[in-house]
Structure 1
Amino acid sequence: MATTVEFLRDYGVDIRPNGQRRWPDELKAQIVAESLKPGMTVNAVAARYGLRANHLSEWRGRARDGRLVLPALAEDDLCFAPLVLREEEAPAMRMAQERSSPDPQALGPVEIVMGQVILRLDGATPAARIAEIVRAIGPTP
């Protein structure tokens, strides 16, 4: 059975003689992505890789700030987001559907909400572009 040092070196971790470890960004991103999966905890993932939970939390913060790029999700990991219509928007939506060529501006902006961030797109944004954006954002933790 491989020791922890051998296991980590197989993943590309540079372990110095004094015990310090230098983790490649790709591996950090993979570990962060694993910690964001439903049912996973920071402590459990950190223990699996033999690192401190506060280091993993720091890496998660870097990913949130855009300083660590997470790997793309497999197509099977895609999920649908709930659609919420406000009552005051329903008549405008009905009128637009009744027209033969709906005016995208009449529908108003498309909003994608990720925590405290709201992404507003023009009503004329093609559905394919919206799908690309949603795939790039990925699921929220």
Structure 2
Amino acid sequence: MHASGHRRWPDAVKAQAVADTLEPGATVGAVAARYGIFPNQLSSWRRLAKQGKLVLPAVALDEPAFAPLLVHDVPEDPPEPPAAVSTAAIRIHFGAIRVEMAADTPAARIAEIVRALASSPC
């Protein structure tokens, strides 16, 4: 607790609380009570998650998730890496929500964000 009397919540706890609100039948009020916070604080955390500023935990899937697999031969003499670093970005558009990530963002992280967006009540 800070001198002002405010508690600091770790991002992992905030993310889990937000994820709990996305469960079927969950309400912000009930989840907030379970964590001992005000509903408006939890709503603020939900906004952070929607803006991509709070990362939600990965959702356990009942069924396996699949992604396309591309297989190709590796050339014997690999090409020289480009001299300039690419500034390309990965962009996800979901309704009014726009998320932009670095081109080297791990696939697992991208999948977490997509799952969070798909389960949001937007």
Q: TM-score, normalised by structure 2?
A: 0.55
1:24 aligns with 2:10: yes
The structural deviation recorded for 1:114 is 4.2
Identify the residue that residue 43 of structure 2 maps to in structure 1: 57
3-state SS of the aligned residue for 1:45?
A: helix
CA distance in 1 between counterparts of 2:63 and 2:12 reads 20
Identify the residue that residue 137 of structure 1 maps to in structure 2: 114
Identify the residue that residue 69 of structure 1 maps to in structure 2: 55
Give every structure 1 segment of 4 or more consecutive aligned residues whose post-TM-superposition deviation is greater than 3 Å.
16-19, 112-118, 133-136
Unpaired stretches in structure 1, ≥5 consecutive residues: 1-14, 80-111, 119-128
More helix by share: 1
The structural deviation recorded for 1:38 is 1.2
Unpaired stretches in structure 2, ≥5 consecutive residues: 66-91, 99-106
Identify the residue that residue 48 of structure 1 maps to in structure 2: 34
**Percent of aligned pairs with the same amino acid:** 49
**1:42–1:53 Cα contact (<8 Å) kept:** yes
Bigger relative contact order, structure 1 or 2 (CA pairs below 8 A, ≥6 apart): 2
Decide whether aligned partners of structure 1 residues 30 and 77 sit closer, same or farther in structure 2, where only a CA change above 3 A counts: farther
Superposed CA RMSD in Å reads 3.2
CA distance in 2 between counterparts of 1:64 and 1:27 reads 16
Matched to 1:66, the amino acid is G
Matched to 1:137, the amino acid is V
CA distance in 2 between counterparts of 1:20 and 1:44 reads 21
CA distance in 1 between counterparts of 2:63 and 2:19 reads 12
The structural deviation recorded for 1:28 is 0.3
Higher-Rg member (1/2): 1
Decide whether aligned partners of structure 1 residues 49 and 42 sit closer, same or farther in structure 2, where only a CA change above 3 A counts: same
